[in-house]
Amino acid sequence: MGEEEPFLGGLIVLVLVSLALAMTAPAQMKKSLTEKAKQAEKAQQAKKQKAAVQPQYGGVYRTTMATDPRSLDPHQETYGATTAITVNTNNTLLRTNPDMTGFELDLAESYRQIDDTTYEFKIHKGVRFHNVPPVNGRECTSADVKYSIERAAGMYGRKSDFKHYYYFDKISSIETPDKYTVIFKLKHPFAPFLKYLATPWAAIVAKEVVDKYGDLKTVAVGTGPFILKEFVKGSHITLVKNPHYFKKGLPYLDGITFKIMSDPASVLSAFLAGRLDGCGIYHYQLETVKKEAPDAIITEYPGTHMWVLRVQPWIEGQKPLKKPLDDKRVRQAIAMAIDKPRLLKLAWGGYGTVAVGPVPPVYDDSLPPSDQIKYNPKRAKQLLAEAGYPNGFSLELLTWNLEYMTKPAQVIKEMLKEIGIDLKLTLLEQPQYFNRAYRFDYELSLHIMTAGVDPEEWLIPYFGPLETSTFYKWSNPELWKLIREQQQILDVKKRKALIREIQLKILDDATHVFLYTQLRFGALRPYVHRTFYLLDYQPIVGETYWMEKH
């Protein structure tokens, strides 16, 4: 779920940690949370090593997603359901590796950094697009890479439609000296560049597909291991094996079927009845799975999406802050009134990690617990009185109507009531919620921040300059200046220090209350084998899946 609902479809379980490329200096996972993922992997390995079988070909993996993808366009979307499809239909030059400590080669055969602003990539020869119109199996070349990255940067259409354009707007030129070589030249050093090339949002597409359909909302044609066969809204999405995939011997599966199922009870029933091979489950379903499907493999791992309570955006000259939220003391009072550990316990059974600042707690760049805004309702009431609201006030809280949002919304309502703030809950269908959220039409919203691969993904699109912030707007020029500076620092320690400073300033502005990330749970049948990729936007890397005969 970019700036969205996390993908709750088939979850991946086998952690095969790939070697990080020597050039990278990525954000590292926090040890305690990484260990949980590794322990889950060891438990599964112990079961599966009892019968050390070799990968087998055939079978259709059956899983679910909670809602239809709004669009299949990897350059315009932010929704995790989109990349659940496109990581299987399209390739990227690089791919974020399983434990998010670096990246793997994908469409690229090799790459090198020539200097601080120049990167050369060699792509595999003989890679072909799917054998469907209008590409009809033609070869993928450096020209397709150039077009795709330029499109992701917003060069072909309205820039604001391309939600991740800030990934690539630092590129000054893309050269293609031959069919298999791509040279990126940047305007200035840009620390996250390689990590951004490794996200699913940098997928390689064909220009003629865009030209034919006008966009990629309902089509997914690429070079990936699977071909989109059918997309029936509200029902299912079917992928079939690409027989001409360039990675020798892959994929193993004949296909993947995603069933659109929003009701967690129905998903669990389908899994227990044998109609699904894997699915996402909730913490309160764990005991049922253990009892009713004792051979099922259950996984637990940290999520990378973060639940936040945020105030109305501030767009200087266009959308000024309205009373009472224009007073920082009011915003700080709201933050002090939220007991985060109790919220997590009441809303999600305690299955998660309390957040501190904008960068989620699974990342090394996150703020330590010592920087936490302390729960202090007494001081919160004092701040409201100092701001001229001794008797409190009323506000609307906007969110969407799925359980993982409505539960915390109800708890937050009760917590703020204790300091005199009366919340009116507005619970919308998810598409309607995002229509309002992207118009910045709310007083308070309970939201989920994007998953990402670099700490600036929780800075630029929320707190950066207005022309680059896509998910939120906040008119603080001091923050803008610092966020720009961190981009160009290639020294890891120096950049980390500045990112910490930025986060502390955001906490002081009290634009958001950074609440928690959830632990994620998955269940699958013991005959399913796969590689676990921690990045929420890579929920099913289908080329790694295979199933024993059953």
* Amino acid code (one letter) for 309: L
Domain identity same for 282 and 328: no
pTM for the model stands at 0.86
Q: Is residue 52 part of a domain?
A: no
Q: Is residue 450 part of a domain?
A: yes
Domain identity same for 334 and 280: no
Q: Is residue 396 part of a domain?
A: yes
Domain identity same for 126 and 171: yes
Would you tell me how many other CB atoms lie within 10 Å of the CB of residue 403? 13
161 DSSP assignment:
G
Domain identity same for 337 and 409: yes
Domain identity same for 71 and 187: yes
Closest by Cα among 301, 303, 405 to 348: 405
pLDDT at position 113? 97
Report the CATH number that the domain containing residue 427 is assigned in CATH: 3.10.105.10
pLDDT at position 24? 32
Q: Is residue 87 part of a domain?
A: yes
Residues of the chain with pLDDT under 70: 1-52
pLDDT at position 17? 30
Domain identity same for 367 and 495: yes
Could you tell me if 545 and 313 are in contact, meaning their C-beta atoms sit under 8 angstroms apart?
no
Could you tell me if 387 and 359 are in contact, meaning their C-beta atoms sit under 8 angstroms apart?
no
Domain identity same for 326 and 219: no
Burial 16-31 (b: 16+ CB within 10 A, else e): ebbebbeeebbbbbbe
Domain identity same for 423 and 338: yes
* Amino acid code (one letter) for 493: K
76-119, pLDDT tens digit by residue?
998 889 999 999 999 999 999 998 889 999 999 999 999 999 99
Q: Is residue 6 part of a domain?
A: no
Domain identity same for 440 and 410: yes
What values do phi and psi take at 80, rounded to 5?
Answer: -60, -30
Domain identity same for 154 and 274: yes
Q: Is residue 332 part of a domain?
A: yes
Domains held by the chain: number: 2
Segments forming the whole domain that contains residue 361: 303-519
What values do phi and psi take at 82, rounded to 5?
Answer: -65, -50
Q: Is residue 488 part of a domain?
A: yes
Could you tell me if 307 and 354 are in contact, meaning their C-beta atoms sit under 8 angstroms apart?
no
Domain identity same for 264 and 379: no
Question: The tokens of 316 are what?
Answer: 């200087």
Domain identity same for 217 and 92: yes
Report the CATH number that the domain containing residue 90 is assigned in CATH: 3.40.190.10
pLDDT at position 9? 44
pLDDT at position 3? 55
Q: Is residue 164 part of a domain?
A: yes
pLDDT at position 12? 33
